[in-house]
Structure 1
Amino acid sequence: MQANLTAPTQASERHHILDALRGWALAGVLMANMVVFIGFGYASEPERAAALGSGLNDLAELLIEWLVVGKFYSLFSLLFGIGFAVQLARLERSGEGAGRYLRRLLILFVFGLAHLYMLWMGDILALYALMGGVLLLFRRTGNRALIRWAVALWLVPIGWSALIHFAGINLADPIYGAAMQGFAAGGIDLKMSPATWFNGADYLDQLALHPTEVLLRIADLTYQMRPAKVLGMFLIGLWLGRRGLFAATPETRGLLVRTMRIGLGVGLPVAFVRAVLHMTAGESHPLRFAEEALYCLSTPLLALGYAAGFTLLWEGRARKLLGWPAAAGRMALTNYLSQSLIQTLLFTGAGLALGNVFGLAFVLPITAAIFAVQVAFSRWWLARYRFGPGEWLWRSATYGRAQPMRLARPGEVAAA
């Protein structure tokens, strides 16, 4: 009986609104990551100017930095915290300890390492797994304390940024220096166009440099103090999951409306100023500090505003439209990893090498095309199978046995 209580979540237990929101978050992450894959994140100014549609680069960059960057990975973090609350409730009902949860995180960490070393350095799974372990320490923390901790964790990076820009203390510098030495040892001169290295090298050449890219990723995460930001959103998600605030009910509607008004009403203008500073600050330490501080203030507000607005709209006539990517959300791990694979094959020397061909204005239509294919594939797959391929592997490794994969056909009895 206890084994049944701790079995993987069945489709009938899922909150479809969370699947749908996770699907839209997946689309946002794809768009943000494509800024790098398309070549813009590495290209020199002449290369950017030579790309198709380059005349719209400034407008596209402003909109992406304003409305997309950071907001959707924060939504993912929020949903991770909600999922933790659900898993924790199920473990407590079964009387089981945290061992299975920790095993689940360990396997996620392995997925993250494979993503980092085999595809690209922008992985978030490994960090999620590490911060998920830290989240376990807050399982008995009261609701008010969770919010205080979340606020403090988003303020810590502001102090961290002040140390960097006004005291000259930057712990990311030695890591960045080690990465630069690794690139130099590999014959890569980053004073030349980094885009040529990223988009032109074939897969084996890229693979040889992935350990060095991982150092670059660690330096970036350290500079941003990203672990604190991720854990902060985890804690808000845990609070939301405990209170069941991912559904608009008469009891929750007032709080959701206030969250949407504050999140969008304050977050949008602050994020706009931050986006402008991001594009214009240059090497000015005061302006870069202001940009990074405004990021820390606006990003969680906008993520919460998006989530609250989505939840309120879900109860109205927009549910069918909003629920369109729910199948992709149910296969989030599979789709997240396949996004990196698709972009690698499209934009780098491992495939079609289309990096630096398109300007930022093409990010939206290319994102829409890739994501539409992912949604269609996810619907097709889930009409036949219980889990996505990545999810099946993750669950099977977590539970120590192969999980039933194929859905029962009419007249058949599902596998036990």
Structure 2
Amino acid sequence: MKVVRSARIDTLRGIAVFGILLVNVWGFTYGSGLSRYGLLGEHAALADKLVVFLVAAFAEQKFYPIFAFLFGASFALQTGGRRAPGAQLDRIKMTYRRRLIWLLGCGLLHGTLLWFGDILTVYAVCGFWLVPQAGRRLADIAVSLRWVVALNVAVTLFMAHITYELMTLTPDAIAWGMGDGARAHAVYSQGTLMAIAHERLADFWSNLANAVFFLPKVALLFLMGVFSVRLGWLTHPQRHRALWRKVLLAALWVGVPVNLWWGWAALRDALDPMAGAPVAALVSMLVEVAGPLLAAGYVAALMCASGPVAAALAQWFEAVGRMALTNYLVQSLLCNLLLQGAGLGLGATLSHGALVGVCVLIMIVQVLLSRRWMRFHRHGPVEALWRRFTGSSPEHGMAGR
């Protein structure tokens, strides 16, 4: 089945790739401890404080929802709408399962060798649950959606209990977390190849164990992506401007204030964990909902953008989005080489502001290389391998955290 590309969808995916880099870069340097941004200290430079605030407020929890949403949308684009059971539908499902097997293998390698925060593995696992939705009526998919929403409510209530426990951490527990974070930072930024590999593997398997609480949210975003295509919200945004304007207004009036609060709480936690950790735990719970809401606002802004604005953004980001999986994996490789002890070890000395500067340089290089590559090729390098393995185009299937 041939899938028609959408410049706006590719542009959105390209922007999200860079947003994900802004979030992931801290893990390459500080590990997976309680404080994502490490310890700033009260006398940190204004630029360092500013980048922590801005990344927390406008990037963290904002871009993986976009990719999960687009993953579901790509599933709907590749499998089509309502189909009667039969050989054709069986072939579509079989091809998509091959794609997921490839993605699962890629994710496991990525998580163990490069980046413990890999999201491809989770997307692949959740994708196997999504496959039976192919060819179903929207009314039947809506039943699945209601069950997924109920499961998310149950998980949210459980996480509220965990949040309460985090808010009541004793000073000794917070001090232990700070010490463990400092140890992880030393391993990742100054350790040997074997020490880093051991730390990464432990963090990766810990993340996979915690994914049981993350999968319901991913499933919900997948289904929202399916609906966005089947109902034309994403593929014909000009017909649904009223809907997208409502989403944008909700993001502005609810998503922005809560996420600004989270930016302040994350900064306070980085400056003084003893005082900031309880508040950060509380606000982080709210951001579980407010983050995806602001992400929806980002999607809505691009869907509502005028033709010239969308074309200008596409000039820079469409090629990046067309080879998003390649760019996502290359970002992990570059962060290993530049920041970690087995490479140049810059993570041990760079300030928080300089880390974001590294991200900007990587973005510029990837924009230039992606635009050049896509002038001469239909797919990115990794996407081409994916196509060769599965016998179908992976154009709309990249996902990242």
Look up the match of 1:104.
99
Q: Which amino acid aligns with 1:116?
A: G
CA distance 1:61–1:192, shift in 2 (3 Å): closer
Rounded to whole Å, the distance in 1 between the matches of 2:39 and 2:164 is 33
Look up the match of 1:132.
127
Rounded to whole Å, the distance in 2 between the matches of 1:95 and 1:369 is 46
Does the 8 A contact of 2:238 with 2:304 survive in 1? Answer: no
Equivalent of 2:322 in 330, 333, 337: 330
* Superposed CA offset, 1:307-328 (max 9, x none): 0111111x33212321111111
Matched, 1:198 2:196: no
CA distance 1:109–1:227, shift in 2 (3 Å): same
Does the 8 A contact of 2:104 with 2:125 survive in 1? Answer: yes
Rounded to whole Å, the distance in 1 between the matches of 2:330 and 2:52 is 25
Look up the match of 1:213.
203
After alignment, is 370-379 or 141-150 more displaced? Answer: 141-150
Matched, 1:235 2:223: yes
Look up the match of 1:16.
7
Q: Any idea what SS the aligned residue of 1:14 has?
A: coil
CA distance 1:162–1:249, shift in 2 (3 Å): closer
Does the 8 A contact of 2:323 with 2:383 survive in 1? Answer: yes
1:338 Cα shift? 0.5
1:131 Cα shift? 0.8
Task: After TM superposition, list the pairs within 5 Å mapping 1:141-180 onto structure 2.
Answer: 142=139, 144-145=142-143, 148-149=146-147, 151-166=149-164
1:21 Cα shift? 0.5
Look up the match of 1:37.
28
Look up the match of 1:414.
none
Look up the match of 2:110.
115
How much is the aligned-residue C-alpha RMSD, in angstroms?
A: 3.2
Q: Percent identity?
A: 30
Rounded to whole Å, the distance in 1 between the matches of 2:221 and 2:292 is 7
1:200 Cα shift? 1.0
Equivalent of 2:71 in 77, 80, 86: 80
Matched, 1:317 2:313: no
Structure number with higher helix proportion = 2
Name which one, 1 or 2, has greater alpha-carbon Rg: 1
1:192 Cα shift? 5.5
Runs of 5+ in structure 1 lacking a partner?
A: 169-179, 181-188, 404-416
Look up the match of 2:171.
none
May I ask how many residue pairs the two structures share in their alignment? 369
Rounded to whole Å, the distance in 2 between the matches of 1:70 and 1:391 is 26
* Superposed CA offset, 1:227-247 (max 9, x none): 122112111111101112125
Q: Any idea what SS the aligned residue of 1:120 has?
A: coil
Rounded to whole Å, the distance in 1 between the matches of 2:351 and 2:150 is 38
Does the 8 A contact of 1:264 with 1:306 survive in 2? Answer: no
1:205 Cα shift? 3.5
CA distance 1:235–1:61, shift in 2 (3 Å): same
Does the 8 A contact of 1:248 with 1:256 survive in 2? Answer: no
Rounded to whole Å, the distance in 2 between the matches of 1:335 and 1:54 is 31
Does the 8 A contact of 1:44 with 1:195 survive in 2? Answer: no
Q: Which amino acid aligns with 2:156?
A: I
Q: Any idea what SS the aligned residue of 2:79 has?
A: helix
Rounded to whole Å, the distance in 2 between the matches of 1:70 and 1:46 is 18
1:375 Cα shift? 1.6
CA distance 1:249–1:342, shift in 2 (3 Å): closer
After alignment, is 157-166 or 84-93 more displaced? Answer: 84-93
Q: Which amino acid aligns with 1:114?
A: L
Q: TM-score, normalised by structure 1?
A: 0.79
Equivalent of 2:265 in 277, 293, 296: 277
Q: Any idea what SS the aligned residue of 2:308 has?
A: coil
Q: Any idea what SS the aligned residue of 1:70 has?
A: coil
* Superposed CA offset, 1:362-395 (max 9, x none): 3443222111111211122122222111111111
CA distance 1:226–1:199, shift in 2 (3 Å): same
CA distance 1:200–1:244, shift in 2 (3 Å): same
Rounded to whole Å, the distance in 1 between the matches of 2:363 and 2:282 is 34
Rounded to whole Å, the distance in 2 between the matches of 1:39 and 1:158 is 27
Does the 8 A contact of 1:331 with 1:388 survive in 2? Answer: yes
CA distance 1:109–1:45, shift in 2 (3 Å): closer
* Superposed CA offset, 1:168-195 (max 9, x none): 9xxxxxxxxxxx9xxxxxxxx9475321
Q: Any idea what SS the aligned residue of 1:327 has?
A: helix
Rounded to whole Å, the distance in 1 between the matches of 2:88 and 2:52 is 50
Look up the match of 2:370.
378
* Superposed CA offset, 1:86-124 (max 9, x none): 111089598231111111101100000010111120100
Runs of 5+ in structure 2 lacking a partner?
A: 167-175, 394-401
Rounded to whole Å, the distance in 2 between the matches of 1:370 and 1:46 is 22
Equivalent of 2:247 in 255, 259, 262: 259
Equivalent of 2:50 in 27, 35, 59: 59
Does the 8 A contact of 2:255 with 2:293 survive in 1? Answer: yes
* Superposed CA offset, 1:253-297 (max 9, x none): 111111111122211112222333344575799745532331122
Rounded to whole Å, the distance in 2 between the matches of 1:91 and 1:115 is 35
Rounded to whole Å, the distance in 2 between the matches of 1:312 and 1:56 is 33
Look up the match of 1:245.
233
Equivalent of 1:25 in 7, 11, 16: 16
Matched, 1:293 2:285: yes
